[in-house]
Structure 1
Amino acid sequence: MNAPGQVGYAQLSTVDPAAWRATGSAWAGLTGLVERRAGELADGGATLRTGWSGSAAGSADARLSGLRAELVALVPAVIETDQILAEFAARLVAARARLAAAVALAATTGVLIDRRGDVRADPSRVSTDRTGQPVLQVAAALREALDLADAADAEATTRLARLTRAASTGWPAQPPSYRPPPNADPGLVRRWWAGLTPAERRWLVVHDPALTGRLDGVPAEARDQANRLLLAARRAALVERWEQLLARVPRGPLELAGLRAVDAAMSGLDALVDRLESAHQPRAYLLGLDVGGEGRAVVALGNPDRATDVLTYVPGMTAGLSDATGELGRAARVLERCAELAPGTQTSAVLWLDYDAPDFLHEAAWDGQARAAGEALHRFQEGLRATHDGPPGRQTVLGHSYGSLVVGTAARDHGLAADALVFVGSPGVGVTHAADLGLPPGQVWASTAPDDVIRLTRPPDELARRAALGATPIGTIAGWLAGSSDERWFGRDPAEPGFGGRTFPSGRYGHTGYWHPDNPALDGMARVVLGR
């Protein structure tokens, strides 16, 4: 990187952000090597203790333990290096997008740009009395792009230098004994974290990653470091569950179903790790992971603490660790469309899969799991507000299918730190009117595809009544699906005029097709995220 203030037009024109992203990913790849060497030291110490005793043996064992601790403490540092370089690469992408816009403006207004970035009117295209304004506009656009690159370069240089100094002075340092409880207010957590020294924060990441990784109010970078340190242990827990089920004899239907579920969770975790370790932009931040039950994951694409626009996506029925990367792909498609609509804008999208999603229709017809998720979603959104750098970012919460009920219930019962709510393919959101969600109705958006099967849902009491009146099974089913009422399982359809919110169109792509590249609903979601 260059000294601050020296990024020029030619440099920004030719820089390759992907190369910086790949460099960061290579640094993160060192974690595996460090962990293997630390494991070898632990094994060596155990072997040593079986055949050697006395003061010399004790000193040797202490030295090996110290070396292992130093190696383990390096892991967050290499992850942080990856974070710094990934964010630098992301800001270069934004700067280059603004540069491209400036070049396009020059081409359409008859302005020439030389290799040094100097601008002048093209005399063959612009008359003398019109040279001033186009030149000034292009020069300002170029300056904006170069200033963004300068700021990114200066910040990355400063952060890497700070990390190098910390490594040379030794870390981490044990903090005071107080720890916030798991469900603490994110604002209090943020103040606690800000009151620690960098060395104390690193100690918590290394020695208490389970706490650090799950606390809303701890910045995304520290949570990502802590949760990545836990990946091996989380997979080991799944393997242990697999072996326990496999050892049961005889194995009945429950054991076989359990084996299939654990196998699916392991496959999902492996796919998620592949995404975490890839050099793809935007970088993924692991903000939460639980392998119990069907598994839960909270993953951000791009650093939400540094983005101007942040989307939180809550998936619906059957969501779990087994398909976390598939759900993350939906969030990624919204980000891609945001980049097309607003080149140079820094956005982040979070997959919030931190609740027990229903697996079957009879579960999805009741709101118990949505109500149980409400407080956690409320706390997560408050945490995003608390940890955001600089001016507050625009926060949008998107719920799909049963996830829309989770979002609506959280907003109704607890309140959500959000500037806009979006519901797609919704069976109702737990309220009868947009005004009951705690946001201005103009910031409540919804879309339901014409061929979405969710349109066939009816309130449970109506289903029960029709079932009682149905003379035959076929008649009962026909009664369930009949009628044009806008009442769904959980209240009025938020995409209907009577709900009082705003809508955007969707093509005929069914219940899961809102993210299809050709569906106008994808544009609608992206425009809401961008505040357009």
Structure 2
Amino acid sequence: MPKLVERRADELATAATALRDAWSGRAAGAAFARLGGLRADLLCPRPALIEADQVLAEFAGRIAGAKARLDSAVAHADRSGVQVDRRGQASADPTRARTPGSAQAVAAVAGEIGAALDAARAADREAAGRLGELVGAAGTGWASPPPPGRPASGAAPAAVRQWWVGLTPAQRRWLVTYEPDRVGRLDGVPVAARDQANRLLLAQHRADLLTERRRLLGRMPSGPVELVGLRRVDAALAGLDALAIRLAAPEGPRAYLLGLATREEGRAVVALGNPDRSGQVLTYVPGMGAGLDDVAGELDRAGRVLSRCTALAPGEETSTVLWLDYDAPDFLHEAAWPRQADDAGPALHRFQEGLRATHEGDGARQTVLGHSYGSLVVGISARDHGLAADALVFLGSPGVGVDHARDLGLPSGQVWASTATDDVIRLACPPEELFRRALLVAGPLGAAVTLLDGPDRELWFGRDPSDPRFGGRTFPSGRYGHTGYWHPDNPALDGLARVVLGR
């Protein structure tokens, strides 16, 4: 439906442009103003359509969770010799011999079924109420301008949250509709509103990329700079289109667009499931080479963690967030320096603070995962700014900027790491150590000396977080290389999911 509204609005704009070429004067000015007003009125309900989609998607997710709990109760009944009738009533199966504890088994199954049905009823009541509020708002002043004063970019999320709570629903809708660029990037604004705002900007992002592409083509064949720029724009367009497809996908957990930029290699912050309503939230920070062109692939990794969490804890709400809101290194010579990780630290700090500020009900268990260079981003942010997190996880890390887990600001028991034995990141050690290893391997007793010497776990950016001397905890990984931690058969995926769930 939002796409249809946008198409009709674009048709009005096209018609007005064609008319302007052939008509001028006072009457023409009034007609153009009227057409502009009609176009604005047509676009105004778009946030409501997106919000209705959010409500229905979350309702579907909660019903799926209730069904998973019901399936678990039925499986429990089968194992325990408990009979369940069509009304959901549990009783001892008369065809089986009574065993000690059968009454307790019946009570346990009945409790599980009751909890599943209560969850479904609560989801139904909530969805009906939220949709009712939307319908009521449509007839009583949908949007109204807020008072002057807006939080500055980079404001503390707690202050942003306080400002947002002080607005009326109509004022919030006005800001989403008419200032989406501001609302969409403010940490401390609830996830649902940021998603609405950023989705409204998708068409403009694509138009900006197409404009840049036409400009570059107009200068071709000027030289390699234009060619590189054209390739970057084409990659960003492909990534943006893939992201739009995922945002519109009816299957799977609903995606929430929390941030988007097309400059440089592009940036995106996308959540699978609503972090504001989930009991467990994972923020995933990717490493070298990550950009808008690969958002779909990075989201697939986040989705695999979410799927494994759902398999391990049916009925629990979990959200995984792809946080690609920094300029990730493109080449090894960039990844050899911590500058881009240093630059990313304040933004990651604010984002995690924002998740804490906007969460509904009891606080969620928040886990932050860094892969490869992303682990350095996480480590430096925790070291220099602090992270609102209950656990940190480092996968395939070249070092995290500290030599001991205690320097990350979390209990050492909540700092985790895993590095595959065939991960090439193990070679990312200081030059003098790499030279020493080369001499050992080249010598006639190289293998024996290496075994006796033991693995030196000093990496490019500090001690390997998988080293016991680092002071954290580890979980195993199979031999799937540097990017295989999300492989369905890799035990690392189970380990990661269990950390997210707090198990």
Q: When the two structures are superposed, what TM-score results if normalisation uses the length of structure 2?
A: 0.94
Q: Is the 8 A contact 1:216 1:380 kept in 2?
A: yes
SS state at 2:45 partner:
helix
Q: Per-residue deviation at 1:63?
A: 3.5
Partners of 1:239 and 1:371 lie apart in 2 by: 32
Which residue, out of 477, 481, 484, partners 1:506?
477
Partners of 1:258 and 1:231 lie apart in 2 by: 21
Q: Per-residue deviation at 1:258?
A: 1.4
For 1:349, the equivalent position in structure 2 comes to 320
Instruction: Note the alpha carbon deviations across 1:99-152, whole angstroms, 9 max, x for none.
Output: 001101111111111111112111222428644211111110001000110110
Q: Per-residue deviation at 1:94?
A: 0.6
SS state at 1:348 partner:
strand
Instruction: Note the alpha carbon deviations across 1:348-398, whole angstroms, 9 max, x for none.
Output: 000000001111111111101000000000000000000101000000000
Change beyond 3 A, Cα 1:202–1:301: same
For 2:342, the equivalent position in structure 1 comes to 371
Which residue, out of 62, 65, 78, partners 1:91?
62
SS state at 1:289 partner:
strand
Q: Is the 8 A contact 1:111 1:119 kept in 2?
A: yes
For 2:113, the equivalent position in structure 1 comes to 142
For 2:464, the equivalent position in structure 1 comes to 493
Q: Is the 8 A contact 1:455 1:488 kept in 2?
A: yes
Map 1:268-279 → 2, pairs under 5 A: 268-279=239-250
For 2:234, the equivalent position in structure 1 comes to 263
1:173 partnered with 2:141: no
Q: Per-residue deviation at 1:55?
A: 6.4
Query: 4+ runs of 1 displaced by more than 3 Å?
Result: 43-63, 128-131, 460-463
For 1:406, the equivalent position in structure 2 comes to 377
SS state at 1:522 partner:
helix
Q: Per-residue deviation at 1:43?
A: 3.2
1:307 partnered with 2:278: yes
1:381 partnered with 2:319: no
Q: Per-residue deviation at 1:45?
A: 3.7
Q: Per-residue deviation at 1:60?
A: 4.2
Q: Is the 8 A contact 1:365 1:460 kept in 2?
A: no
Change beyond 3 A, Cα 1:122–1:251: same
Partners of 2:123 and 2:416 lie apart in 1 by: 34
Change beyond 3 A, Cα 1:259–1:128: closer
SS state at 2:263 partner:
coil
Aligned partner letter, 1:343: P
Aligned partner letter, 2:92: A
Aligned partner letter, 2:166: G
For 1:190, the equivalent position in structure 2 comes to 161
Q: Is the 8 A contact 2:80 2:102 kept in 1?
A: no
Which residue, out of 419, 436, 446, partners 2:390?
419
Partners of 2:44 and 2:224 lie apart in 1 by: 45
Which residue, out of 77, 83, 86, partners 1:115?
86
Map 1:16-415 → 2, pairs under 5 A: 30-49=1-20, 59-127=30-98, 130-415=101-386
Count how many residue pairs are aligned between Structure 1 and Structure 2: 493
Q: Is the 8 A contact 2:220 2:226 kept in 1?
A: no
SS state at 1:169 partner:
coil
Change beyond 3 A, Cα 1:164–1:242: same
Q: Is the 8 A contact 2:345 2:377 kept in 1?
A: yes
Change beyond 3 A, Cα 1:416–1:46: same
For 1:19, the equivalent position in structure 2 comes to none
Q: Is the 8 A contact 1:431 1:491 kept in 2?
A: yes
- Stretches of structure 2 that go unaligned for 5 or more consecutive residues are none
Greater shift, 280-289 or 168-177, is seen at 168-177
Greater shift, 247-256 or 138-147, is seen at 247-256
Aligned partner letter, 2:109: V
For 1:429, the equivalent position in structure 2 comes to 400
Q: Per-residue deviation at 1:41?
A: 2.3
Partners of 2:417 and 2:277 lie apart in 1 by: 27
Partners of 1:166 and 1:49 lie apart in 2 by: 36
Partners of 2:286 and 2:134 lie apart in 1 by: 37
For 2:491, the equivalent position in structure 1 comes to 520
Greater shift, 199-208 or 35-44, is seen at 35-44
Q: What's the C-alpha RMSD, in Å, of the aligned pairs?
A: 2.0
SS state at 2:399 partner:
coil
SS state at 2:322 partner:
strand
For 1:20, the equivalent position in structure 2 comes to none
Q: Is the 8 A contact 1:459 1:491 kept in 2?
A: no
Q: Per-residue deviation at 1:170?
A: 3.3
Partners of 2:366 and 2:372 lie apart in 1 by: 20
SS state at 1:305 partner:
helix
Change beyond 3 A, Cα 1:136–1:407: same
Partners of 1:318 and 1:304 lie apart in 2 by: 26
Q: When the two structures are superposed, what TM-score results if normalisation uses the length of structure 1?
A: 0.89
Partners of 1:280 and 1:378 lie apart in 2 by: 32
Share of identical aligned residues, percent?
67
Partners of 2:13 and 2:396 lie apart in 1 by: 52
Q: Per-residue deviation at 1:459?
A: 2.4
SS state at 1:235 partner:
helix
Change beyond 3 A, Cα 1:325–1:129: closer
Change beyond 3 A, Cα 1:181–1:118: same
Aligned partner letter, 2:321: V
Q: Per-residue deviation at 1:47?
A: 4.5
Instruction: Note the alpha carbon deviations across 1:44-99, whole angstroms, 9 max, x for none.
Output: 34455555567665554444333222211111111111100000001011100100
Which residue, out of 451, 458, 465, partners 2:429?
458
Instruction: Note the alpha carbon deviations across 1:14-67, whole angstroms, 9 max, x for none.
Output: xxxxxxxxxxxxxxxx11110111122233344555555676655544443332
Partners of 1:305 and 1:461 lie apart in 2 by: 47
SS state at 1:187 partner:
helix
Partners of 2:321 and 2:386 lie apart in 1 by: 19
Partners of 1:241 and 1:66 lie apart in 2 by: 29
